[in-house]
Structure 1
Amino acid sequence: MVALTVRLSSRIPRAIHTSAIHLNNRSGGNGAKPAEDTTDHNDEVENQPGTETSGGRWRGHATASIRTRYQRRRQASALPPVELPPSFLRNNVTLHASQEQPRLPIALAEDARHPKLSPLSLDQGPSPRLRLYFEAALRRLLARGRDLALDLENSRLNKDDRRWSSPETVARAVRVWDMALDSATHMINAIHPIRQSEHFYKVRPFWWSQVPRILNIGLPGHHDQFPSLVAPLSDQLSFAEQYDYPLAHIIADLPVETFIALRKSINRELFASPPPTFDHKTSKRPITILALSGFGGRSITEAIGQHFAHSMGADLIYLDAYDVSEVVGGYLGQNWAYSRGPLAMLGFRAAELNGKTAGGRDERPLEGQDDDEIDTDVGISASNTSPSTVVEELQKLRQGEYESFSKWENLKIDKMLEQIIRSTNSESSESHTRPVLIHLHDIIELSMTIEGSLLINRLRALTDVAWQQGLPIAILGTSSCEQQSEEYQNAIREFAVNDFVVTRHVQPDYVERYTALKGHAPTHANFHLQKADYLVENVSNITRMLRALDQETPQMPGMSLDSILSYLRSSDLELSILQNSILPAPEIYHLACAFKSQEGEAAINNIPAVLEERITLGPLQQWQGHNLFGEDRGEGDALSGISTAGEDPHTLEARATPKLNEYEKRIASGQVNRENLRITFADVHAPPETISALRLLTSLSLLRPDAFSYGVLAQDKINGCLLYGPPGTGKTMLAKAVAKESGANMLEISGASINDKWVGESEKLIRAVFTLAKKLTPCVVFIDEADSLLASRSMFTNRASHREHINQFLKEWDGMEETNAFIMVATNRPFDLDDAVLRRLPRKIHVDLPLEKDRLAILKLLLKGETLDESVSLDEYAQRTPYYSGSDLKNMCVAAAMAAVEEENEAAAKHDGPHPFQYPERRILRKSHFEKALKSIPASISEDMPSLKLIRKFDEEYGNRKRSATKSSMGFGLVEDKHHIK
C-alpha cells in the first residue's frame, strides 16, 4: 500500500515555483493602493503558477505558508525600481489618437516608394468577371460619393459645422473619388480594352490581390471563387477611405475575410467582461494567434496589430522577442554586449528558430559525424542545450516540473511585465478607461524555448489579473516564418489545443510573381519586402547593441535607419549583408563596435566602409573541403538550381541550402536548372486543355496557397500525372515547359540514377528521391520512360530486385513517409506499367499524334524563324504528313533547312568569279527542299505498329475514351476519322 501511494504521488506534476507580487502592491507605477490594503490572504498573483498541466488545469500554491508569503512580500519590497527605457516607450507604446493615422511600418513605407506593374496591364482581353467586380466597387463608391456630396452641402448651409474644414475629411473624400476613377477606368477596359498600356502603382490599390484570382477564374477549381472576392468589397473600400494606405498594401495577399474575422475576434476579447466565476488563480483566458508562413518579415503583422488597435480605440503595446530580451533581460542584469544570459539572447534564439539567421541554417557537421544523425531544424546554437534536452525540458515545463528562474528572478520578471502592461497609463483619466491591446510578436518562436515559454505564461497570467480587475485588455499573438520547420509546426499545434490559432500562407510579391509568370519582367527587382524587413531588424539590433555598449550615448548620430536606407537606395542592394538574413549576436556586436568607433556626423560617410569590411571578410567559418566563398563544388551544386556566378558571398552563406546525405547527393544530380531551360508552353503546341491541366496540377498550389489550407485540399491532393502517347509527340517537352513556368523545382529520375549493383542500395536511393523532394518543396519528380522503372511486377517474375524496387517506390509514394512531391510520369508504353502505379496516377493525359490542323500549327511554330518561298504551302505538307509525330515534323524541317544550306554550299563550290562567294544573309526554304526532306524523313509510326494499337486500347480502358465515346479531350487524337485504326 505504501509503495502504491509513492508511485501515484510521483505521477502528480509539480507546479513551477514561480511567484509574483500583487498588482496593487508594486513598487512604483500608477494606481498603487495603500500598503495596509494588502493582507496575507489577498496575495493574488502569488498563488498563480507559471505553467499549465497536461490536462489544462492550473495548479496553485494553495498550501503556501504564511511565513513564505511574508518572505515573498519582503523580497518584493526590496526589488529595485522599474523604469522602462525611453526608446521602448517611444517605439513600442502607442496611445490612441483618433485624429492620427497609424504609422506604417518602415518596410511597408519603403515599399510604397517603388513602382509595381498592375496585373491589369496584361493582355487579357474582355473579362466579364472583372467588369462585374469593378462595377460592384464603382456602385458602392458612387453611393458613398453621393453621401459625401450631400454632407458637404449640408455643412455649407450650417455655418457652425466645420467638419469639412478638417484636412482629414477632405482627404477621405479625395480617396473615395480616386478609387471611383480607378474602378471606372478598369471597368471600361474590362468591357473592351481600348488601349494596351502599362499601369504602375506605388501604393497597392484595394483590388491588388483579388484581380489575378479573378483573371484565373476560367481555370478548373476557380469557378466558385468570385462571390468570396466580391463579398469583402465594402470592408476594403471603407478601410481605404479611412486610412492613407489601402488594406491590400498592408496585408499583401492575406485573405480579407481573415483580417476582418480576426479584428472581430480581438474586438470581442478586448471588450468582454470577465465572468463572475473567472479566477485568475485557476483559470486561463484563451488568446488569438495569427501565424504566417511564406514570409519571414514582421511588417505585415505589425501593421495588422496597429490597425486593430486604432480601429478599436485602444492603446497598443508592441512586444517581440528582442524587446523582451532587452527590457526584461536588462532588469535581471543581463546585457547584449557583455552579459549574454539566456534572456538577453532570447531575440537571437527566436530568429534562429524561425530560420532567419544564416548560421542556424547552414551549420556544418563535425568530422566523422553522419548527416542523418543531425537535427537541422532545431538550431539552438546560442546555448549548449541539445535539441533532445530542449524537448524534454519543454515537456517538463508543460507538466509543471521545471524551474528555469530563481524566486528572486521570478519576482523581477513579474514586476517588469506588470510595468509593461501598465505602460499606457498617464495622468489623464481618459487613459485609464481606454482598452489596451498587447501585440506579442514571435510568440511561436518564444514558446519553443524554455525561458520564452515561462515569459509567455507570466505575461498571460498578469494580463488575466488586470482583466479581472476591470481593465479592458487582450493579447494578440503573431508570428511570421518563411519556411516552417517541423518543430515550429508542432508548437503551433500545441497552441491550437487551447487558443484560437489562425495560420495563413502569404506572398507579398504575389502579383509580381503573377505578372512574371505572364512574361513581364519585374519592375523593381532591387526591392524585396522581406529583405527590407531584415534590414530594419538588423539596424534595430545594431542600435540596441550600441545602447548596451554605452548607455550614455546609445546611438551614433550617423547610425540611423534613414542614413542606412539612403545609402542602400543609391547602392547595389546585393552588396548589403543587412538584408539577406538576420545577423547573429557576435556579428551585430562587431558592426556596432565598428560604427561606435566612427566620429560623430562622419559616421554616415563611413557606412559603406563598415559594411564592405564585413563583406570582404566572407563567411566567418570555412570548413574543410569547402572553398571560401560558397558550398561544396561537388555534387551539391546541382541542388540550388540557381547560378551563383557574381553573387555576394554573404548571400551564398545565408541561403538555406538543404543538407544532403550520401544518397540525396547522388539523386540531386538530376535536378533541372530552370534557368538553363529554353522551352516554355509557347514553344510547345498542345491543346489548351492539356496545358491548363498541367498548370493546374503543378502550379495551382503556388498561386493559391490559401485554397489549400482547409477542407479536402488540405488533407488530400492529386499527387501524380501520367503523360502517355506514341514516341515523339512532345511529352518530354511538356515536362520541360512545366519545369520552366510552374515555379516548382524539377527532379528528373532515370534508371541509371536508381539502379545499383549492391543489395539494398537501390531502395535507399528511392527513399532519397522523396526525402530530397521534400527538401526541394515545391518539387515535381519527372520520370521519363517510366516503363523501365515502374513496369508491372508480373513481367519480371525472375527478378526479385525489381519487385523490391517498385514496392519501396510505392511505399514512399503512398504517403507512408511525408512528402510534398508531385510525380509526373511519361511513357510510350503505358500498358506495361504496374497496376498499383496506375492507381497512384489519377490524371492520365493522352498526348497523341497531331491532326492536320495541329501539324500545320507545329510547322508554323518550327519555321517561325525561317524565310519561306512563295511556292511552299505548309497546308499542303500538313495534309501530306499523316502519322507524323511532332518529332518527325521537326526532323523534316531540319532536313529541309540542311538541304538549303547544302544547296548554298554547292553554289559556292561552283562559283569562279573574281570576288569571293557571298552567302545570302538568310536562307530561303523552297518547295524542292521540303520535297527532298519529305523523302528522307518518313513517319516513325505506322498504322500497323502494335504499340499504337495497344496505346489506343489503354486509352479506351484507362484514359478519357473510357468516359467518353468522342475523341479524347487531352492530346491531339490518333489521326483523322478516315484513318482510324481498326
Structure 2
Amino acid sequence: MHAPAARRAFPTVALAARVPRGAAVAAAAAACRSFHAPPSRRNAHGPGGKPVDDSVTEHDDDPEPQAGTETSGGRTRSHAVGPARSRNMRRRVASALPPVNLPSSFLDNNVSIYSPGTQPRLPIALVEDAKHDKVSRLFVDQGPGSQHTHQTLESYFETALSDLLLRDCELAMDFVRSRMDDNNVRWNSPEPIERVLRLWDMILDSAWHLTDALYPARQAEYTYKVRPFWWWHMYKDLDQRTHKFRDQFLSLAMSLDNQLKHAERLDYPLPHAVADLPADTLVAMQKALNRDLLASPPPNFDPKTSKRPITVLSLSGYGGTAVSEAVGEHLAFWNHADLVRLDAYDLSVLVGDYLGQNWAYSRGALSMMGFRAAELNGKLARDYGFPGRHTDDEDHDVEAGLMGLRTASGTLEDELQKIKQGGYDCFSKWENLKIDKILDHIIRSADLKSQSSPSRPVLIHIHDLVELSMTLEGSLLISRLRVLVDAAWQQGAKIAILGTSSCEQPSEEYQNAILDLAGGDLVITRHVQPERADRHTAKGSRRFPFSLQKADYFVENLHNINRMLEAMDPGSIQRPLDLSSDSVRTYLLSANPRFSILRDSVLPVREIYHLACAFRALKSKHEGCGSAGFLERFKMGPLRQKPGQPFLDEERPEYKGEPGEAPNKTAEEAKGETRASMKLNEYEKRISVGQIHRENLRTTFADVHAPAETISALKLLTSLALVRPDAFAYGVLAQDKISGCLLYGPPGTGKTMLAKAVAKESGANMLEISGATINDKWVGESEKLIRAVFTLAKRLSPCVVFIDEADSLLANRSMFSNRPSHREHINQFLKEWDGMEETNAFIMVATNRPFDLDDAVLRRLPRKILVDLPLKDDRATILRLLLKGETLDDSVSLDDYAARTPHYSGSDLKNVCVAAAMAAVEEENEAAAKHTGPEAFRYPERRVLRRDHFERAVRQIPASISEDMVSLKMIRKFDEEYGNRKKGAKKKAMGFGVLDDKQYAVAEEARIRPGGSGL
C-alpha cells in the first residue's frame, strides 16, 4: 500500500515521520492488525478508557502457544496485553516447547568425540571392502611402451623408498633421544610402535616393487586387503600413454609426501578410505576448514542477515556414502574437532519426529525427505509405470513427484529462490520454533555425548547437501541450521559446516543446484571411481568383483529398515541383520535378484515398510527369529515387477564377462537407462538411438592400420581436452577450439573404422547421426531434431558427433535447388554448430564425396584428414592384421599378394581374406562328403589357408577402385584445393608409406595424393 493510502486508512501511521523507521513499521503492522480484528476486540477499552488491541501482542518472531488457541494450520494466536506482557511471553516460549531427547543410536553412530589416541572411524562398507582381495598387476603388461612404464615405476618406488628410510632414521634417532631423557614417555605408548610397524610395511612393499621394476620379467602379482599408499597414483594419476604422472606442478617427492605421512599415522592408507579422491584435495579442504574453525567473527556480524560460506564436496561417478563419510571423519580428526554427521535421513527422522511425523504411520513431506533426496541423486529404485503416464514435453515440470509440495506462490524454482533469500517459509511460526530447538540440540550433541563444557572445535558434516537444497523442506532446514551455526560462531564457538554429496550420474537439475551453491560457497567437484583399479586388474579373470557402491546401498537399506522399526515401536531398536555376519556377505555376493534387491539400489519407503513388518511380525511371535521372517519376505522378490518380465528368476546375473561392464544387457536397454537418467525430451530420445556405447565396440586403433600421424591427430582432436583440462582453462584454448574434422577418401579405406576406434579409446561419448534420424515428413520436425543433436551432445559432454556419409546431409545447397527443405535443414545445422562453444562436443564427418559438401560446412571443418588407398607395404600389413588368427601354409607369401593388389582398398583386402577362408571351409566340406570310412569324419581343429585358396579369392574379388573412376579424380582435385598438400606443394605429407623423393606413385599404384596420404 502506498503512503498516502496508508495515512487515509490508518491515521496512527502519520506519526511515522517523527519516529525511527523500525518503530513506524511496527506501528503500521499494529494498526493493520487492529483494522482487521473483530469489531468486539477492535472497540475494547482498557483502564482509563484507552483502547486496547490484543492482537498487538502477537509478535512475528515470538508466538506463545496457549491452550485452545492453536489453529488447524499450526499457527497460534496469543492474548497478552502490553509490551511488558509480550516480553514475558518471549521468555516463556522456550519452556512451552516440548523437551528434546536425541536418540541414543544417533549419539552412538553419528557423533564422534575427538581423542588423540583414537583413529578415524571407517564406514561399514569400507570395513567390508577390507575383507576382499585386491590384486595388483603392475608388471604383467609387456605391451608397447612397457619399458617407459617400468622406468616410471622405478623412479616412483625409488623415491618412496628413500623417503621412508629417511623417516625411519628420524624415528630411530627420536627413540635414542627418548631413552636418554627420563621424562620422555612417548615411546612407552603403543602409538609410536604401531607407526614404526606401518613404516616398515611400506618399506618392504616399496623395496619389492622397486626390484620388480628393475627386473620386470618376473611379472610379479600382489594381493592386498587394504589398498597401499601408492594405489591412487598408479591406477589413476599415472598416464599410460605418456608414462608420466598428470600432476606436473609438483615434484614426485612432494606428491608422495601426503600419502606417506597419512599412511604412517593411520591404520589404513588414504586410497582405501577415500578411494581415488586426490590427497591434495583433502589437504586443501582441511586447511579451509581449519581457517573456518579458527576464524573470529567480525564485530558487525549478524547471523540473521549474514551468511558464512561453507565448504562443499560434490562427488560424481559414485553414489554411495562411504567415501563422503570417511572424508568427514578424517577432516574432523586432522582438525582435532568433534564430529556431528547428518544426512537427509537423519534430518527427516530427528526433525520429523519432533514435529509429529514419522516413517511408519504419519508420513509427510518432511519425514519422507530422505527418500526424496535418494530420488534426486538417482539412488532410489526405479518405479516401473505405464506408457503414457508421463509426458515428454520439452517444458517438463521439474516439480513432478515432490509429494504435493507445490504451492500457489509459484514454481519450485521461485520458491527455492525465496528460501535462499529468506522470503519464504512453508512452516508455521510454532513449527519454526520447534525446528530451531531440535537443530540447536543437534549442533550441541557432541557436548551432550561427552558431558563436558565445550572446549574442542565442532565440525557439522551434512551429507546430501545438494539434494537437500533441491527440495523445499531441505532448503529451509539447511538455512535454519546455518543460521544457528553462525549464531554459535558469533558467540565464540569454534564451529564450521562441511557439506558433501555423491551422485553417480548427475542430472541437469543436480548440476544446476551445484552451480547455485557455488555462487556463495566453496564448492569442490571431483569424479571418483572406487573400483577403477579392480576393474583394470580383474580383466581376464572370472572372480566376482566387490562393489563398494552396492555395499553402500546395502548398508543404507539396512539403516532405513532399522529406522522404520524404530518408527513402528519408538524406543526399541531392533536390528535385523549385521553387515559383519556371513549371511549378509552372502547377500552381497548373490546374483539372485530376489536376494539382491538390498544392494542394487535404495529401496522406496513402501519396500522398507514391508520388510520391517515381516521382520517385526515373526520376531514378536518367536524371539530371535526375526531374520527368518526377513528372509521369507525376500523370497517374494520386489513388490513391483518390471513389465514384460515373465519370472523374477529371469533377471540377468550381475557379473559375467569383463568387470565394470553391464553384461547380458542389450544396447537398447542400456540406451533406455541412459535416457531415463537424463530425462530427455521427445526429440532427444529419437536422436539418442544413435548413441554408441564403448563397451559394445570391438574396434580399437590396434585393429586399424593407419598412419601414426593420422591416429595421433584423431586422439588429440577428440581427447586432448579430457587428458589436459588445465591447458584449456586459459588463453586461446579457453575461448576457441577446433570444432570438427573431415575424414575423406575413396570407399573402403577405413574411415568408419577409425571413427569406431576413436569412440572406443578416446574416453568421450559417441553419437552417430544419419539421414534416417534427421529427416521427417512433417514441416519443422527435422529442424527440431537437428537442434536435439546438439542439446543431447551437451548432455553427453564430452561427446563426439559422428556423421557418416555426410554428403547426404550436408551437401551443397545449390545441388538441391528443387528441395527447399534441404536448405532449411543445413541452415539449422550450421546455426547450431556455431553455438557449440558452450559444450565439449566435437563433429567428426566422413564421406567418399567431399567435393559435394557445402562450402560453409567445409569452413567449419578446419582439419581435413585424407584416408588414402594403401601402398604395397601397407597392404601387406593389413593382410597380416586380418589373418592374425588364421594358420597359413608356407607356400603363402603375403608380400607377393600385396604386390599383386595395387588398386585394392582395405575393404577389398578383407573380402579377399574372407573368400580364401571360405574356400578352405568349402574344401573341408567336400572332403567330408567324399569320406567313406567306418569312422566319422573329423574336421581339422584349425583350417590351413594355402596358396590356391588365395589364388581363387583374388580371381573372385576384383579391386573396387580403378584409376578411371570419376570420383577418384574428383577426390584428387578436392585434395589439391582443400587438403594440406596444395597445388604445386612438394613437402612431405602424412599418410600410408610416404615415398622417399618421388613426386608421384609408381604406375601400378592408384593414389589420391602422390607420395602418401594424411593430414
Same-fold call, TM > 0.5?
yes
Pairing of 1:368-447 with structure 2 (within 5 A): 370-372=391-393, 375=396, 380-385=401-406, 389-425=411-447, 432-447=454-469
Q: Is the 8 A contact 1:679 1:733 kept in 2?
A: yes
Aligned length: 917
Pairing of 1:469-868 with structure 2 (within 5 A): 469-514=491-536, 520-521=539-540, 525-556=544-575, 558=577, 562=581, 565-569=584-588, 571-572=590-591, 574=593, 575-599=595-619, 600-615=623-638, 617-619=639-641, 656=676, 663-664=683-684, 666-672=686-692, 677-695=697-715, 698=718, 720-741=740-761, 746-773=766-793, 779-815=799-835, 821-868=841-888
Q: Which residue of 1 aligns with 2:279?
A: 256
Q: Which residue of 2 aligns with 1:57?
A: none
Q: Is the 8 A contact 2:507 2:677 kept in 1?
A: no
SS at match of 1:884: coil
Q: Distance in 1 between matches of 2:649 and 2:790?
A: 26
**Cα deviations across residues 686-720 of structure 1 (Å, max 9, x unaligned)?**
34454455455556677788988999888776553
**Which amino acid is 1:499 matched to?**
D
From 463, 475, 482, give the equivalent of 1:460: 482
SS at match of 1:81: coil
**Cα deviations across residues 575-598 of structure 1 (Å, max 9, x unaligned)?**
411222222222211211112112
**Which amino acid is 2:887 matched to?**
T
Q: Is the 8 A contact 1:766 1:808 kept in 2?
A: yes
Q: Distance in 2 between matches of 1:839 and 1:650?
A: 36
Q: Is the 8 A contact 2:314 2:523 kept in 1?
A: yes
| Aligned: 1:135 with 2:158 | yes
Q: Distance in 2 between matches of 1:4 and 1:812?
A: 54
Task: Tell me: CA distance 1:540–1:746, structure 2 relative to 1, closer, same or farther (3 Å).
Answer: same
| Aligned: 1:114 with 2:132 | yes
SS at match of 1:824: strand
Q: Which residue of 2 aligns with 1:31?
A: none
Q: Which residue of 1 aligns with 2:473?
A: 451
Q: CA deviation at 1:627?
A: 8.3
Q: CA deviation at 1:674?
A: 5.4
Q: Distance in 2 between matches of 1:221 and 1:798?
A: 57
**Cα deviations across residues 656-696 of structure 1 (Å, max 9, x unaligned)?**
55556554554455444656544343332234454455455
SS at match of 2:566: helix
**Cα deviations across residues 847-867 of structure 1 (Å, max 9, x unaligned)?**
322233322221112222322
Task: Tell me: CA distance 1:70–1:815, structure 2 relative to 1, closer, same or farther (3 Å).
Answer: farther
Coordinate RMSD, CA, aligned: 4.2
Q: Single out whichever of 699-708 and 671-680 deviates more from structure 2.
A: 699-708
Task: Tell me: CA distance 1:596–1:679, structure 2 relative to 1, closer, same or farther (3 Å).
Answer: same
Q: CA deviation at 1:899?
A: 4.0
Q: Which residue of 2 aligns with 1:58?
A: none
Q: Is the 8 A contact 2:562 2:576 kept in 1?
A: no
Q: Which residue of 2 aligns with 1:357?
A: 380
Q: Distance in 1 between matches of 2:727 and 2:321?
A: 23
Q: Distance in 1 between matches of 2:402 and 2:969?
A: 63
SS at match of 1:536: helix
Q: Distance in 2 between matches of 1:673 and 1:154?
A: 63
**Which amino acid is 2:441 matched to?**
Q
**Which amino acid is 1:554 matched to?**
I
Task: Tell me: CA distance 1:225–1:522, structure 2 relative to 1, closer, same or farther (3 Å).
Answer: farther
| Aligned: 1:234 with 2:257 | yes
**Which amino acid is 1:210 matched to?**
H
Task: Tell me: CA distance 1:791–1:193, structure 2 relative to 1, closer, same or farther (3 Å).
Answer: same
**Cα deviations across residues 101-134 of structure 1 (Å, max 9, x unaligned)?**
1111112222222223436244133433333333
| Aligned: 1:942 with 2:965 | no
Q: Distance in 1 between matches of 2:857 and 2:238?
A: 35
Q: CA deviation at 1:541?
A: 0.9
Q: Distance in 2 between matches of 1:224 and 1:942?
A: 52
Gaps of 5+ in 2: 8-12, 14-21, 30-58, 64-81, 651-660, 1011-1015
Q: Is the 8 A contact 1:115 1:523 kept in 2?
A: no
Q: Distance in 1 between matches of 2:818 and 2:996?
A: 39
Q: Single out whichever of 217-226 and 688-697 deviates more from structure 2.
A: 217-226
**Which amino acid is 1:488 matched to?**
Y
Q: Distance in 1 between matches of 2:939 and 2:484?
A: 88
Task: Tell me: CA distance 1:69–1:823, structure 2 relative to 1, closer, same or farther (3 Å).
Answer: farther
Q: Distance in 1 between matches of 2:323 and 2:719?
A: 25
Task: Tell me: CA distance 1:446–1:675, structure 2 relative to 1, closer, same or farther (3 Å).
Answer: closer
Pairing of 1:880-891 with structure 2 (within 5 A): 880-891=900-911
| Aligned: 1:290 with 2:334 | no
Q: Distance in 2 between matches of 1:548 and 1:95?
A: 27
| Aligned: 1:872 with 2:914 | no
Q: CA deviation at 1:603?
A: 2.5
Q: Distance in 1 between matches of 2:180 and 2:940?
A: 83
Task: Tell me: CA distance 1:960–1:795, structure 2 relative to 1, closer, same or farther (3 Å).
Answer: same
Q: Single out whichever of 156-165 and 312-321 deviates more from structure 2.
A: 156-165
Q: Which residue of 2 aligns with 1:97?
A: 115
Task: Tell me: CA distance 1:224–1:532, structure 2 relative to 1, closer, same or farther (3 Å).
Answer: closer
Q: CA deviation at 1:745?
A: 5.1
**Which amino acid is 2:903 matched to?**
Y
Q: Distance in 2 between matches of 1:346 and 1:917?
A: 71
Q: Which residue of 2 aligns with 1:638?
A: none
Q: Which residue of 2 aligns with 1:23?
A: none
Task: Tell me: CA distance 1:244–1:895, structure 2 relative to 1, closer, same or farther (3 Å).
Answer: same
Q: Single out whichever of 459-468 and 972-981 deviates more from structure 2.
A: 972-981
Q: Single out whichever of 216-225 and 493-502 deviates more from structure 2.
A: 216-225
Q: Which residue of 2 aligns with 1:323?
A: 346
**Which amino acid is 1:383 matched to?**
G
Task: Tell me: CA distance 1:959–1:302, structure 2 relative to 1, closer, same or farther (3 Å).
Answer: farther
Q: CA deviation at 1:569?
A: 4.2
Q: Is the 8 A contact 1:618 1:628 kept in 2?
A: no
Q: Distance in 1 between matches of 2:134 and 2:188?
A: 34
SS at match of 1:335: coil
Q: CA deviation at 1:356?
A: 1.9
Task: Tell me: CA distance 1:556–1:178, structure 2 relative to 1, closer, same or farther (3 Å).
Answer: closer
TM-score after normalising by structure 2: 0.81
Q: Is the 8 A contact 2:212 2:219 kept in 1?
A: no
Q: Is the 8 A contact 1:309 1:316 kept in 2?
A: yes
Q: Which residue of 1 aligns with 2:42?
A: none
Task: Tell me: CA distance 1:6–1:449, structure 2 relative to 1, closer, same or farther (3 Å).
Answer: farther
Q: CA deviation at 1:944?
A: 4.9
**Cα deviations across residues 548-567 of structure 1 (Å, max 9, x unaligned)?**
00014221455777476334
Q: Is the 8 A contact 1:117 1:199 kept in 2?
A: yes
Gaps of 5+ in 1: 18-42, 48-63, 632-640
Task: Tell me: CA distance 1:86–1:827, structure 2 relative to 1, closer, same or farther (3 Å).
Answer: same
SS at match of 1:313: coil
Task: Tell me: CA distance 1:451–1:920, structure 2 relative to 1, closer, same or farther (3 Å).
Answer: closer
SS at match of 2:218: coil
Q: Distance in 2 between matches of 1:797 and 1:834?
A: 13
Task: Tell me: CA distance 1:762–1:85, structure 2 relative to 1, closer, same or farther (3 Å).
Answer: same
Q: Distance in 2 between matches of 1:424 and 1:224?
A: 39
Q: Distance in 1 between matches of 2:599 and 2:193?
A: 39
Q: Which residue of 2 aligns with 1:334?
A: 357
Q: CA deviation at 1:269?
A: 0.7
Q: Distance in 1 between matches of 2:793 and 2:648?
A: 26
Task: Tell me: CA distance 1:816–1:6, structure 2 relative to 1, closer, same or farther (3 Å).
Answer: farther
TM-score after normalising by structure 1: 0.83
